Amino acid sequence: MSSLALFLTLLLTFLLSATAQEAPANPAPAPSPVVPGGRPSASASATALPTRPPTASPSPSVLPLPPCGASQGAIFITNPTRGSTTVVGSTLNITWTYSDLTDKARFPAKNIALYYQRADQGVTPTGWKPIIEDLNPKATVYTWTVPNVQDGQFFIRIAADGIDPQRSTNPDTRCVPDTFPGPSNSQQFLITALPPLQTFPDNLGPNSAAEKSTLVTSITSVVAAVSAVEVLAYFI
């Protein structure tokens, strides 16, 4: 090999070696793709993390009841009131509210039940007759059509979510949990069937003002005469 060829070979080897040493160890990252508007796409610079679906809060109806203690709530029946009267066949607005100890955000959770029973023949656990047992738990009024019952004094009873110690034989519902609205009775009220009004014909007719006046005068005269006779009889 000639000196010129050897020189060119060494020069080429040197250049290739220098090029390999100047190359960066880590290649530069590829540029982010550009979305319309000239801004890099967020998906190119950040990796989307999987998201967990939100956990739904359990319904109050499936939550365990609090223990039975000394902080029970109560249902307050505001109508009917003591001494009030309602008539068979009419409608009665039964209304109620809850005591301050009641957790009203949670209870009642399932339903409201209304009952009635005579108050003047001895109240018994089995004597309550249902009015409605599946009323919306958020209701605080119910319009009741009074049934055909014998005249007498009555009670209304309201219970929530089937927890009614007075009526239940189930040990799980024989006490009222804390913050739960316990059942209660209304004040006594009267249900009566009023007799129909008796009507009488007007024998004097519609245009008989003079005749009616004469009749009144005659009756007054008779009363005066009777009184005079009684006075004379007193002195004789």
pLDDT of the residue at 236: 66
pLDDT of the residue at 213: 74
Contacts of 142 (CB under 8 A, 6+ apart): 93, 94, 112, 114, 131, 132, 135
Report the alpha-carbon distance of residue 160 to residue 213 in Å, rounded.
65
The helix, strand and coil proportions of the chain, stated in percent and rounded to the nearest 5, come to 25, 25, 50
3-state secondary structure 177-208: ECCCEECEECCCEEEECCCCCCCCCCCCCCCC
pTM of full prediction above 0.75: no
Q: Select from 60, 61, 67 the least CA-distant residue to 177.
A: 67
The label of the residue with tokens 């003591």 reads 82
Other beta carbons less than 10 A from residue 232's beta carbon: 8
pLDDT by residue, tens only, the chain of 236 residues: 566 677 677 777 777 776 656 555 555 555 555 555 555 554 444 555 666 666 555 566 556 777 887 899 999 999 999 999 999 999 999 999 999 999 999 999 999 999 999 999 889 999 999 999 999 999 999 999 999 999 999 999 999 999 998 887 666 666 889 999 999 999 999 999 986 566 767 666 666 666 767 777 778 877 777 676 666 666 66
Give Cα separations from 207 to 150, 210, 211 (angstroms). Answer: 44, 8, 9
Side-chain half-sphere exposure of 28, counting CA atoms within 13 A: 4
Contacts of 102 (CB under 8 A, 6+ apart): 73, 74, 179, 180, 181
Q: Which CATH architecture has domain 74-192?
A: Sandwich (2.60)
